Amino acid sequence: MRSTYWLTALLGWLLTASQAFAIDPLPFKDAAEEDRFRALTSELRCVMCQNQSLADSNAMIAGDLRKEVFALMQEGKTDAEIKAFLTERYTDFVLYDPPLQSKTWLLWFGPLAILLAGVIVVIMIVRRRAAGPDQTPTPSNDEEW
């Protein structure tokens, strides 16, 4: 029981420690600026470890790009300008929200198309059942398979 407590405490400490490590101390002038920085870097994808956001990653390049994002914020650049700066160098890869282009329409509308196909199949099955078993005899499972 006691050991579980200590393990939990250790785990909690490790989690908070790694969190603190990922975020370098940057001289934010107020909380609003820090919130904007957090929001922006969590929308950007780390180029080295690509299943992490720029905000979470410990990769060296992620730290450098966080510093760069911070410097651009100090220069008064908008979020869109900062994203453009990064896509010019690292392509749309850095954006978690890829722009709508001819290349990405399948990505954006593919799930919707699958959902529509599912709806059509369900409607077809419901209609066939509503037509009654006397008109289209439903074969038993053994026959079908």
List interacting residues with other proteins (CB under 8 A): 47-48, 50, 60-61, 64-65, 68, 87-91, 93, 144
CB of 87 to other proteins, least distance (A): 7
Q: How far apart are CA 98 and CA 95, in angstroms?
A: 6
Measured from the CB atom, is 65 or 73 closer to other proteins?
65
Of 119, 89, 93, the closest CA to residue 104 belongs to 93
CB of 12 to other proteins, least distance (A): 32
Measured from the CB atom, is 50 or 101 closer to other proteins?
50
Q: Is 89 left (phi over 0), alpha (psi -120 to 50) or beta?
A: alpha
Phi/psi for 95 (5° steps) reads -95, 130
CB of 115 to other proteins, least distance (A): 18
CB of 136 to other proteins, least distance (A): 12
DSSP 44: B
Measured from the CB atom, is 14 or 129 closer to other proteins?
129
Measured from the CB atom, is 23 or 59 closer to other proteins?
59
Q: How far apart are CA 51 and CA 99, in angstroms?
A: 19
Q: How far apart are CA 90 and CA 94, in angstroms?
A: 6
